Amino acid sequence: MMTTQRTVYVNGDYVAEGEARVSVFDRGFLFADGVYEVCSVLDGKLVDFAGHMRRLARSAGELELPLPWNDDELLAIHRELIRRNALEEGMVYLQLTRGSAGDRDFAYPDASTPPTLVLFTQAKSLVDNLGGKQGIRIATQPDLRWARRDIKTVQLLYPAMAKMAAKAAGADDAWMVEAGRITEGASNNAWMLTHEGTLVTRELSHAILPGITRSVVMEVAEALSLEVEERGFSVEEAQAAKECFVTSASSFVTPVIAVDDVAIGDGRPGEVALKLREAYIEESRRRAI
Ligand code: PDD
């Protein structure tokens, strides 16, 4: 059977995915010493690209990771991959690691070691998406990640474990909890709508990733005259809320219909969540580059 191979980008080359090579000594592989970004693609165009690249530069800066590409160069690579793979809807994944010094050593290599840059596309129906329409079920898990979750590193083992535990509990995804407050989802930001009509999402700190979708959804909410309060909230508050939802580049705004088997509202996707989803998608199509 012939399978189509994607074209991926590795350190300056566009190659068939089966031909792509990264060293076994790459620090991304040995130490999870790398950062990443996920940009969604609608109508063959990039959503929130500038915001994702700003966060990439910040993540790299926090880890003293070299990023010798400017936004225009990174945009050109994203666009070339979209073109070569004829991607209409889905995501572009970018990963930057500290490269390979040719051996395993905890200490960072010197500046002569070039970083590794890998990008690939993933085709996915983001707009016409079952979870986005019917909502998802959440199971909570203790947040056992490291203390710098504001940096988008590739050390994603615990979020993967939390997601598996959520699935084992009959849910679709996990929300992580620390000191009685929800931090965020395994790969998204957590939101609720109070019965008074205020949108609530946790304030930015080292405890959560500053979601790009989160910030654009805040703008969209403002345009819809919805009030947003940035503060943490407990599992019990979420369960008693009018609505709950998550935001991320790959899920946009996705309603949450249950938290730990407690139905949210009437157990159907919330009206405001669906309205925000629609408005976010509309705005994203307009702004995409
Ligand atoms: N995840 N919080 C976490 C822990 C995340 O991993 C993500 C994104 C978000 C939302 O950020 P943004 O809106 O910028 O996508 C919040 C990506 C999509 C992923 O890992 O696939």
Pocket probe mutation, ligand 1, options 153, 176, 188, max atoms within 8 Å of Cβ: 188
Which CATH number goes with the domain that contains 238? Answer: 3.20.10.10
259 lines ligand 1 (CB under 6 A): no
Residues with Cβ within 8 Å of residue 102, at least 6 apart in sequence: 23, 25
Query: Is residue 1 included in any domain, yes or no?
Result: no
- pLDDT > 60? residue 1: no
Residue 50: closest CA among 74, 67, 82, 84: 74
Q: How many CB atoms lie within 10 A of CB 254?
A: 26
Q: Whose CA is nearest to atom 20 of ligand 1?
A: 187
Contact between residue 238 and residue 262 where contact means Cβ atoms under 8 Å apart = no
Q: How confident is the model at residue 4 (pLDDT cuts 50, 70, 90)?
A: confident
Which CATH number goes with the domain that contains 41? Answer: 3.30.470.10
Of 98, 123, 148, the residue that ends a domain is 123
239 lines ligand 1 (CB under 6 A): no
- pLDDT > 70? residue 2: no
Claim to verify: residue 112 and residue 140 sit in the same structural domain:
no
In tens, the pLDDT along 107-160 reads 999 989 999 999 999 999 999 999 999 999 999 999 999 999 999 999 999 999
Q: Whose CA is nearest to atom 4 of ligand 1?
A: 187
14 alpha carbon – ligand 1 mean position (Å)? 26
- pLDDT > 70? residue 284: yes
| pLDDT for residue 111 | 87
Q: Whose CA is nearest to atom 3 of ligand 1?
A: 187
Query: Is residue 211 included in any domain, yes or no?
Result: yes
Q: Whose CA is nearest to atom 16 of ligand 1?
A: 188
Q: Is 152 a catalytic residue?
A: yes
Query: Which one from 152, 167, 242, 275 is the annotated catalytic residue?
Result: 152
In tens, the pLDDT along 28-49 reads 999 999 999 999 999 999 999 9
Residue 46: closest CA among 16, 81, 12, 14: 81
209 lines ligand 1 (CB under 6 A): yes
Of 103, 123, 143, the residue that ends a domain is 123
Claim to verify: residue 159 and residue 278 sit in the same structural domain:
yes
Domain range spanning residue 90? 7-123
Ligand 1 atom at shortest distance from the alpha carbon of 152 = 6
Residue 237's SS3 state is helix
